[in-house]
Amino acid sequence: MAASGGALWRRRVAALCRAARSVCGRAAGAERLAGRLRARRREEEEEKKKREVPGNPARRRARELAALQRVHPNVLARVLKQGAVYQDEEVVVLNKPYGLPVHGGPGITNCITDVLPILAKMLENMRAETLHLCHRLDKETTGVMVLARSKEAADRIRLLFKTRQVEKIYWAISVGHPDPAEGIVEIPVVEKEVQSHQPHYKMTLAPNYRLSPEDGKVLKTRKNRSAESAVTRYRILASSSACSLLELQPITGVKHQIRVHLAYGLGCPILGDHKYSHWNKLAPQKLPEITLRRLKLEQSKARHLPLHLHAHRLSLPLGASGGKWIDLVCEPPVFFHRTLRKLELDIDKN
């Protein structure tokens, strides 16, 4: 009886040991599984970080420049307030950031128009009337932008732009050197559809004259009814590294006229202007070897270069009688100055 009781006791102990080993095994297995899941999560987080902060500096800077489209409207209004360069009872003048559209549209999260009521309250008080647009700048263009505090002031300033009483001075970095170094481009501009594997629309030249292929004589062309008169004055401020810093004065205000006149009229597209560096295709801008070397950039990464076009100065008469003439100047953004330095485009030396 005693022996039988001892055998039963040993069997119970053995069963308990097996159960304990089973529990320990399951615990160890669970720990290994948890370890693998933690490792996988770390890998996924690392991959996410790589996507969010790309290793390529040009791509990272491009992401940074487009960041304002993703911020809260209050944050955007605060950034615009910090960029105000002039204010009086009639106008507010901003240094427009890069990559920020003036108007909304498909795929656009933030635009200047949407935050004007918020900006007005930040600049004045909670009962302030919304600010009003007086003119527009392209999404990729930086620089002087005039807003009016009242609808009446906005209407007066818009009329000044329409009747060409506003003097506009732009700075641009071009790929190549315009010849001659100073001059006026007076060629009408028209929008046309580009027939390619990716059909799209672009502004292009609609010249009034052409050369005869037979004898080289100058022939007058039939006027395109859709074409608009476009006049741009230009001069070189500095040249280096197969690029030039240009001062540009658009006499007229046709859509993309500076970009079209430089690219198709003078053969010197603006640095970072991937739209107008080619006619029949949508492709990154092709850059000279010396330019790539100075920018420390590979041609395959050229698509990340921003457009180097800046509204530098604006002069216009203000007040109901137009007796107050103001001259507004905005410094180019940091990326523009960085490019000037890398390309050794020093205005003082020229």
Whose CA is closest to 343, among 290, 294, 309?
Answer: 294
Backbone angles phi, psi at 111, to 5 degrees: -150, 165
Backbone angles phi, psi at 60, to 5 degrees: -65, -40
Backbone angles phi, psi at 85, to 5 degrees: -110, -15
Cα dihedral: 221, 223, 229, 235 (round 10): -10
CB neighbours of residue 119 within 10 Å: 25
| 264 Cα distance to chain centroid | 22
Residue linked to tokens 């999560």: 41
> Could you check whether the bond before residue 180 is cis, i.e. omega within 30 degrees of 0?
yes
Residue linked to tokens 């597209």: 269
DSSP letters for 231-261: EEEEEEEEEETTEEEEEEEESS--TTHHHHI
Cα atoms in the Cβ-side hemisphere of radius 13 Å centred on 105: 5
Catalytic residue among 114, 138, 215, 327: 138
249 contacts 167 by C-beta, under 8 angstroms? yes
User: Reduced to 3 states, what is the DSSP secondary structure of residue 54?
Assistant: coil
Extract the tokens encoding 322.
């137009």
C-alpha distances (whole Å) from 85 to each of 3, 123, 144, 307 are 101, 12, 9, 22
Beta strands in 114-175 (DSSP E): 132-133, 142-148, 167-175
* Active-site annotation holds for 346: no
226 contacts 188 by C-beta, under 8 angstroms? no
Residues composing the chain: 350
Residue numbers annotated as active site: 138
